Structure formats: structure tokens, C-alpha cells
């Protein structure tokens, strides 16, 4: 364990000379250099993939993110996890562009978990939108030091120098020095104070907004990219764990004899039983530890365990749905109020009312959770596909009873995350076993483990009621929502919190005089987590379906009704929304307003692209939905057709997306294409059910089924709005409007209104 791992906690940018002590470099992925395809691929994962770059390497290191070597190589640390969003191909570009570096001479290194980087939680579609400015400052600080060094050498004013194309140029004379030539001198310059760091205008960042190459593409297609399960340490054993089938269950007794008889099985270990709240704790159970994965799997199958299923053993998701239904059939705690919705409903000429249900949803990352731990003395080293290495440090530290700083977490590639890998329960399991057995241990979740021991997205029932006047105008809008909250995983919780409604309920732009949103009771009986776009999934499904139902009731075009309900382009204040506060995904409302104009714009654009107005003449069945989430705006049109076998196929989809300023256009499009498929999977097939408290699904079938290539639309058209607004989220906001657009398209095709997901329960898809 290296000394330099111990990082003094300092203010983020001010700890600039952390240089020596601070840089805890992570795995250098074998293909991190964009090597041309002709260069032979390097051998598979090194036995111990740890940081290969010494922190005391000479050169300019103004902060923990940037290093300029005397040979001109610029190393940029990516401190967010790569899980398919292309962050390693995007975030470092902001630093490089601010610096003036050429991407071909930039090396990208993956960070270990370390507070020195600030928050590393790769979650909430937050990497670009949340920290773009800080990242740019890291590059700008380095640039200013290089410029200062050049100006000093030339004895000119720094203002007359520019940093561009990996060199500093004195504009009046045209003299130029490469970054490498300046690195050592620049290192002696004073690190600028954050408030003095001057950023370039966005328009002068040469790569930002372009289609940037996929940095790790060559590694992915040659099998060289190191994912969690690909890490192999000398003497490592592999564990497969029999966990309690019901949340809160525990082992009564077990017989390890048959498991131990399986060749290759070394140990059978009882795991500590967690106490509520569940948080990120391991589940407990019995671990079978073996020389290799196959023996561990066979050994677990041979285990004989008797469980006490605990207090949640009667949980039945079907019955629970009825309970949620009751919750929204009575007035709830008011979270949003404009005018007098009850009076308006009483005097309405017509009422439209509908109830929507979305079940628990699984994450199903292609790579099931896995972690390697090596505990030595009072220290622990972890290799894992984690979205949140610092949470892993904390949870592993808690499990082992050591300081989080004594846990070093190396972040591998993630074979998908979607929120599941924000929870480091699997890291703590590996650490507990390594401590107990004194050797490195890999914990491998099987697919069944992944499904049955997921932190499922919550289950919900929403009841929406609209009052229409004699002219068909909506005068009242009431939204009652009930769902167990994520907070229930961390503390007792009887119902969603006010801020939980920020996801699509409080921030819904409505041109309706009487509005209320009410929270219904909903206690949790399982372990709830967050899944890509979280509560937005069911709020968008409910609202997006309901607007289509209002259009149906009025016999109006859904497009017109969407625009009418959203109202004219405007930015809505808290008072306009009728709410007391809006968490707004952690950003102030003045920087990221609720902008009805932007929502309208994506709707209008997607309608044009899909030839919405000609759909009837052309005999096409289209469905429309739109949603604001993660400070971005997405509108979707889905086309539904009947296949020769009678099944419904979503054959084409159009998406219009406004995320403000974007960094990597190609990765933004790919996230939207992926969101379309992700949204389709949950709309058509996804649904976790529980009987006797236990999850009934166990693999990519039934409620764990996801879209295959045959079911994927023939075309997904993505239209990204060019914008200079501040960056919004990208990874998640594409998902929410997909399910309602599909359900509305199914209605257009069949006349059947489906108010519950997955659609496969109601129609042939």
C-alpha cells in the first residue's frame, strides 16, 4: 500500500499542491491510449491493475486532475466512472480544451476513490452538468501556469500569449513553445487562486460539441477492457453467496457438508446479518468460497440453508398495489397548490380521471455486480465496477471497522450501472470475506443474485384527475401519487418526501389555473434504490398517458393538447408552479429554470421530424410524450405497427433532446438511442413482482426480459437541439417519455388504453 494514498483533505481547488501527496491514480486501462487498430493489443489485465503513474513524476501538476510531462504528454484524470455514457471520452475533453491540449497527446487515467477529487458519485446524470465549470478550471489553471512560464521566458506580457494546439504562442512575435518544453518551468509558477482562473468562452473550446472518438472503443472490441470480474490477483478465491431471499430475512441454520464436497470449494462462511435500515449493507447469508467461479456456483447450489424470512415475508406486490390504489383514492398531503382544485373539479363540465401503475423495475446491468477485495492488516484494497468509489470506501470501512481512508478503491470499467452500482454492498461482501480468509476474494453475483438482490426501482400508483370546462379547456389538474421512497432504504419512511416530487410533478409546466399534487401513504417492504431516471419513469408515464387521455376525451390532437397544457413559452417561478421549493437536481432555478419554451420546442421539433400532422393520411399510429428531467428536455414520438404475426412492434422512434450545451455530440446521441431501448424494455416487458417477500424473477426472462435486436425499432432518430444554455443531464432524461409515447402509440394503433406497465400484460407485443 503506497504512502501517497493517504490524502490530506483539503478544499477542492485550493489543495493544488496536493500534487505529491494527493494523486491516487487508478487503473490505467490497457487501451487508454487511443492506439491505432494496427497496433497489437496489449495482453489482458495485469495481475494487479493499479496506478502506473507515479505522483512524483516531474512536470506540471497544478491539481489532482492534470499533469503535463516534459515530453509533452498531458495526463488527465477521469474521476467519474465509465459505465457506457462515454464519460472518459467526454469529461477530460473539457479539461484538455481549456488547457489547449491536442487530444492525440492526452492520456486519460482512471481515478481511484479519493475525496481529493471531490464528489465521484457517477449518478444523477451529473458529471457534465454538475461539474463542468470545475473541470474547466482544472485545465485553465494549468494553462495559466504554462502561459506564465512562457511569458517569463520571453519576458513578455502573459496577456499577449495564447495556449493552443499543445503550445503557448506569443501572438505579436509568433514565437511558440510546446507544453512539454514549458512543463518544468510552469511547475514553479504559482498556482492561480480559483477565483482568478479565467475560463475561455465555450465557443473557443475546439472539441466541445463535436462528435468525439470513442476513447475505449478499441479496448471494448478486442476484449481488452478490464471490467470488475476481469481482475485477477495471485491467490484469489471466488465467492458466490446464498443471500436471504427476503429483505430482512436471516439464516436459521445451514449445512455446508455437500457444498464443501464440491471439488474446488475451500470455505463456507456465514456472513454477518444486517440490521435495518438496509442502506448499502451486505445482505448476509452463506458464502461459498472456491478456487474458481464454477466450483463456487456448484457449491452454492449444494448448500442446504434454512431461512427465517423475517417481517417482510408476507409482502405480495399485487396486493400491495391495491393498497397504493387506496392511498391515491383519498386526499393526500398537498405538495403543490394553485387555485382551488376541488372547487374547480366540482364546477367542471367534464371530468377525466385515470389511475396508472408502474411496477418495481430491475436494473439488469449486463455485468452482474462483482468486486475483488484484498484486506491486509488494517487496510483494504478493492477493485470494482462501482459508480461511487467513495461510497465503497465508506461502506467497506464500516464493514471492516476501519477508516474509509484506509480503503483504496480502484474503479474498473462498469458493464452497465443504471444506479445499481452506486450501492457498494458487493464491495463490502468481498472485503468481509477477504478479511476472514486472509486472501484476496472476488464476490461474483450470478444473474439470479443480481435480479433477486437488486435495489429495485420503486412501485407506484398515480391517480390523475382533470376538470374540463364546457369548451374543453382544462381548468383543474390533480395529481395524487403514492410510492415507497428511496429514503426508506436509509430510514423509516411512511410516504414519499416533498422533494421526491421534484421528478416530474413539482416541475411540470402547466397552463392550468387550479392545480394540486398530493402525496399518498406508501410504506416500503423491500429494498428500494434508484434506477436510471428514477421516479421520473412513472411520473412521466402517468402524466404522458393522461395528457393523451385528455386529448382522447376532447377528441383533440394530442400535440395540440400538450402545447395547450404546457402553455406559452415562459420560465416558471415557484409561485407560478404553486410550490414552496424545487430541488431542481441540485441546481439553482435562475441558472436552470423550469422553461416551458424549451419543453414546447422539443415537442414541436419531434412532431415535425415524425411528420405528426400527416400521420392520419399516411395511416401511421404515433404516440407522443415529453418530459423535463435532470434539467434537460426530451420529447419522443413512437410509431406502432402490427407485425404479420399480430404482435405490436414499435418500428420507429423520434427523439428531440435539449440538454443545453453538450460536450460529446456522438455520445449524447448514443445515450438517447440507448434511452429509447431502455425505456422500451421497461414499457414492454419490465416488472419485478414479489410473493412471500421474495422476488419472483431471476434472469432475462419474464419480468426480467429486455428488448432484443428483433424488437428494437428499425430507426431511432435523435435530434439534439443546439443550445448555449448551461449543460443539463444526458444519461437519464431520454428515458422517461419513452414509455408513455409507446403506450400512446399502442392506443393510436389499437384503441386500447393501457394504464399499467409492462404493456405485455395487456397487449401482444
201-240: contacts with other proteins (CB under 8 A): 213-214, 216-227, 229-230, 232, 238
* Positions in 522-581 near other proteins (CB under 8 A): none
* Positions in 698-717 near other proteins (CB under 8 A): 699-701, 705-710, 712-716
Q: Which of 28, 9, 17 shows the shortest CA–CA distance to 117? A: 9
What cell does 736 get? Answer: 422517461
Pairing of strands 74-78, 106-110: parallel
Q: Which is nearer to other proteins, 180 or 417 (CB)?
A: 417
* Positions in 252-271 near other proteins (CB under 8 A): 263-264
Q: Which is nearer to other proteins, 301 or 491 (CB)?
A: 301
Q: How many helices (H) and strands (E) does the chain have?
A: 18, 29
Least distance between other proteins and beta carbon 674 (Å): 4
Other CB atoms within 10 A of residue 38 CB: 5
* Positions in 663-682 near other proteins (CB under 8 A): 666-667, 670-671, 673-678, 680-681
Least distance between other proteins and beta carbon 351 (Å): 39
CA quadruple 448, 450, 452, 457: dihedral positive or negative? negative
What angle is formed at CA 550 by the lines to CA 546 and CA 556, rounded to 5 degrees? Answer: 135
Least distance between other proteins and beta carbon 261 (Å): 13
List the one residue from 297, 511, 589, 721 that touches other proteins (CB under 8 A).
297
Output phi, psi for 468, to 5 deg.
-115, 140
What contacts 319, CB < 8 A, 6 or more positions away?
none
Element (DSSP H or E) covering residue 19: helix 19-22
Least distance between other proteins and beta carbon 457 (Å): 14
Least distance between other proteins and beta carbon 89 (Å): 9
Q: Which is nearer to other proteins, 229 or 501 (CB)?
A: 229
> Among the candidate windows 112-120, 281-289, 359-367, 459-467, which touches other proteins by CB under 8 A?
359-367
Other CB atoms within 10 A of residue 313 CB: 17
Q: Which of 299, 185, 163 shows the shortest CA–CA distance to 242? A: 299
Instruction: Please classify residue 199 by burial: count the beta carbons closer than 10 Å to its beta carbon, then call 0-12 exposed, 13-18 middle and 19+ buried.
Output: middle
> Among the candidate windows 54-62, 294-302, 560-568, 600-608, which touches other proteins by CB under 8 A?
294-302
Least distance between other proteins and beta carbon 725 (Å): 25
Beta strands in 471-510 (DSSP E): 474-482
Q: Which is nearer to other proteins, 41 or 199 (CB)?
A: 41
* Positions in 437-496 near other proteins (CB under 8 A): 444, 446-447
- Give the distance between the most distant pair of CA atoms in the chain: 82
What contacts 734, CB < 8 A, 6 or more positions away?
634, 655, 657, 671, 672, 674, 675, 676, 679
> Among the candidate windows 71-79, 276-284, 410-418, 587-595, which touches other proteins by CB under 8 A?
410-418
Least distance between other proteins and beta carbon 471 (Å): 42
End-to-end CA distance of the chain: give it in Å, rounded: 54
DSSP secondary structure code for residue 206 in this structure? S
Least distance between other proteins and beta carbon 712 (Å): 4
Contact in structure between 635 and 653 (CB atoms under 8 Å): no
> What is the separation of C-alpha 344 from the centre of its chain, rounded to a whole number of angstroms?
40
Q: Around 254, how many Cα atoms within 13 Å sit in the side-chain half-sphere?
A: 26
* Positions in 58-97 near other proteins (CB under 8 A): 82-86
* Positions in 714-753 near other proteins (CB under 8 A): 714-716
Q: Which is nearer to other proteins, 334 or 366 (CB)?
A: 366
Using CB under 8 A as the binding rule, whether residue 599 contacts other proteins is answered as no
Q: Which is nearer to other proteins, 232 or 525 (CB)?
A: 232
What would the x/- binding string for other proteins be over residues 26 to 65, using CB under 8 A?
-----------xxxxx--xx--------------------
Output phi, psi for 292, to 5 deg.
-150, 170
Bond from prior residue into 304 cis (ω within 30 degrees of 0)? no
Least distance between other proteins and beta carbon 447 (Å): 4
Output phi, psi for 152, to 5 deg.
-65, -45
* Positions in 268-287 near other proteins (CB under 8 A): none
Q: Which is nearer to other proteins, 297 or 726 (CB)?
A: 297
Using CB under 8 A as the binding rule, whether residue 413 contacts other proteins is answered as yes
Q: Which is nearer to other proteins, 421 or 463 (CB)?
A: 421
Count interface residues toward other proteins (CB under 8 A). Answer: 79
DSSP secondary structure code for residue 285 in this structure? E
Least distance between other proteins and beta carbon 249 (Å): 23
Using CB under 8 A as the binding rule, whether residue 294 contacts other proteins is answered as yes
Least distance between other proteins and beta carbon 669 (Å): 9
Q: Which is nearer to other proteins, 46 or 472 (CB)?
A: 46
If you write DSSP's letter for every residue of 507-571 in order, what string do you get? T-----SEEEEEEPP---SS-B---TTTTHHHHHHHHHHHHHHHHHHHT--HHHHHHHHH-SS-E
List the one residue from 1, 198, 261, 301 that touches other proteins (CB under 8 A).
301
What cell does 99 get? Answer: 488547457
Using CB under 8 A as the binding rule, whether residue 410 contacts other proteins is answered as no
Least distance between other proteins and beta carbon 420 (Å): 11
What cell does 566 get? Answer: 404546457
Least distance between other proteins and beta carbon 202 (Å): 23
Amino acid at each position: 500500500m503506497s504512502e501517497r494514498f493517504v490524502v490530506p483533505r483539503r478544499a477542492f481547488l485550493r489543495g493544488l499542491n496536493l500534487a505529491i501527496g494527493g494523486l491516487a491514480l487508478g487503473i490505467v486501462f490497457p487501451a487508454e491510449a487511443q492506439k491505432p487498430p494496427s497496433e497489437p493489443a496489449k495482453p489482458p489485465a495485469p495481475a494487479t491493475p493499479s496506478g502506473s503513474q507515479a505522483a512524483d513524476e516531474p512536470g506540471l501538476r497544478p491539481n489532482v486532475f492534470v499533469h503535463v510531462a516534459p515530453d509533452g504528454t498531458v495526463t488527465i484524470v477521469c474521476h467519474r466512472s465509465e459505465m457506457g455514457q462515454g464519460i472518459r471520452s467526454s469529461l477530460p475533453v473539457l479539461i484538455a480544451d481549456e488547457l489547449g491540449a491536442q487530444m492525440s497527446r492526452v492520456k486519460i487515467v482512471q481515478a481511484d476513490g479519493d475525496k481529493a477529487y471531490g464528489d465521484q458519485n457517477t449518478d444523477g446524470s451529473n458529471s457534465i452538468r454538475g461539474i463542468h465549470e470545475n473541470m474547466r478550471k482544472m485545465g485553465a489553471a494549468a494553462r495559466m501556469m504554462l502561459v506564465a512560464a512562457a511569458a517569463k521566458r520571453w519576458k513578455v506580457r502573459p496577456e499577449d500569449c495564447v495556449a493552443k494546439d499543445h503550445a503557448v504562442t506569443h501572438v505579436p512575435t509568433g514565437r511558440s513553445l510546446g507544453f512539454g518544453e514549458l512543463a518544468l518551468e510552469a511547475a514553479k509558477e504559482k498556482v492561480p487562486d480559483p477565483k482568478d482562473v479565467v475560463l475561455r468562452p465555450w465557443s473557443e473550446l475546439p472539441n466541445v460539441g463535436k462528435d468525439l472518438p470513442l476513447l475505449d472503443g478499441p479496448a471494448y472490441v478486442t476484449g481488452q477492457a478490464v471490467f470488475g470480474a476481469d481482475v485477477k490477483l495471485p491467490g484469489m478465491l471466488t465467492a458466490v453467496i446464498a443471500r436471504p431471499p427476503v429483505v430482512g430475512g436471516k439464516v436459521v441454520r445451514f449445512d455446508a457438508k455437500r457444498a464443501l464436497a464440491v471439488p474446488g470449494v475451500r470455505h463456507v462462511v456465514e456472513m454477518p446479518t444486517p440490521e435495518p435500515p438496509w442502506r448499502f449493507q451486505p445482505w448476509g447469508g452463506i458464502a461459498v468460497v472456491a478456487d474458481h467461479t464454477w466450483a463456487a456456483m456448484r457449491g452454492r447450489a449444494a448448500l442446504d440453508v434454512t431461512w427465517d424470512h423475517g417481517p417482510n415475508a408476507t409482502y405480495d406486490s399485487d396486493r400491495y398495489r391495491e393498497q397504493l390504489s387506496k392511498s391515491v383514492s383519498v386526499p393526500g398531503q398537498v405538495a403543490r397548490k394553485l387555485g382551488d382544485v376541488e372547487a374547480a373539479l366540482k364546477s367542471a363540465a367534464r371530468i377525466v380521471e385515470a389511475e396508472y401503475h408502474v411496477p418495481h423495475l430491475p436494473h439488469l446491468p449486463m455485468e452482474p455486480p462483482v468486486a475483488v477485495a484484498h484486506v491486509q492488516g488494517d487496510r483494504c484494497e478493492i477493485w470494482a465496477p462501482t459508480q461511487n468509489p467513495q461510497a465503497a470506501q465508506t461502506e467497506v470501512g464500516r464493514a471492516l471497522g476501519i477508516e474509509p481512508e484506509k480503503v483504496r478503491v480502484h474503479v474498473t470499467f462498469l458493464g452497465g450501472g443504471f444506479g445499481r452500482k452506486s450501492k457498494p454492498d458487493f464491495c463490502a461482501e468481498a472485503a468481509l470475506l477477504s478479511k476472514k480468509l486472509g486472501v484476496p476474494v472476488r464476490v461474483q453475483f450470478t444473474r439470479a443474485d443480481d435480479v433477486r438482490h437488486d435495489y429495485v426501482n420503486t412501485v407506484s400508483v398515480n391517480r390523475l384527475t382533470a376538470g374540463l370546462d364546457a369548451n374543453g379547456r382544462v381548468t383543474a389538474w390533480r395529481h395524487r401519487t403514492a410510492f415507497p421512497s428511496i429514503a426508506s432504504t436509509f430510514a423509516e419512511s411512511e410516504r414519499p418526501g416533498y422533494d421526491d416530487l421534484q421528478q416530474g410533478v413539482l416541475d411540470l409546466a402547466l397552463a392550468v389555473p387550479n392545480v394540486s399534487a398530493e402525496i399518498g401513504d406508501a410504506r416500503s417492504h423491500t429494498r428500494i434504490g434508484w434506477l436510471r431516471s428514477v421516479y421520473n419513469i412513472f411520473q412521466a408515464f402517468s402524466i404522458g398517458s393522461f395528457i393523451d387521455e385528455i386529448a382522447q376525451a376532447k377528441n383533440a390532437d394530442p400535440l395540440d393538447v400538450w402545447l395547450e397544457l404546457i402553455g406559452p413559452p415562459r420560465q416558471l417561478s415557484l409561485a407560478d408552479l404553486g410550490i414552496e421549493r424545487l430541488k431542481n437536481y441540485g441546481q439553482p432555478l435562475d441558472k436552470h429554470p423550469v422553461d416551458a419554451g424549451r419543453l414546447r420546442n422539443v415537442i414541436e421539433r419531434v412532431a415535425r421530424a415524425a411528420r405528426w400532422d400527416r400521420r392520419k393520411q399516411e395511416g401511421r399510429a404515433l404516440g407522443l410524450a415529453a418530459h423535463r428531467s435532470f434539467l434537460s428536455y426530451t420529447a419522443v414520438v413512437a410509431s406502432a405497427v402490427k407485425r404479420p404475426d399480430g404482435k405490436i412492434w414499435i418500428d420507429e422512434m423520434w427523439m428531440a433532446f435539449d440538454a443545453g450545451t453538450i460536450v460529446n455530440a456522438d455520445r449524447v446521441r448514443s445515450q438517447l438511442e440507448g434511452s429509447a431501448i431502455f425505456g422500451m424494455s421497461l414499457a414492454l416487458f419490465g416488472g419485478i413482482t414479489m410473493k412471500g417477500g421474495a422476488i419472483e424473477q431471476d434472469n432475462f426472462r419474464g419480468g426480467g426480459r429486455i428488448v432484443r435486436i428483433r424488437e428494437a425499432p428499425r430507426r431511432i432518430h435523435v435530434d439534439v437541439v443546439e443550445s448555449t444554455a448551461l449543460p443539463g443531464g444526458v444519461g437519464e432524461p431520454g428515458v422517461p417519455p419513452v414509455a408513455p409515447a409507446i403506450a400512446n402509440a399502442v392506443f393510436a394503433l389499437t384503441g386500447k388504453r393501457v394504464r399499467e406497465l409492462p404493456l405485455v400484460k395487456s397487449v401482444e407485443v
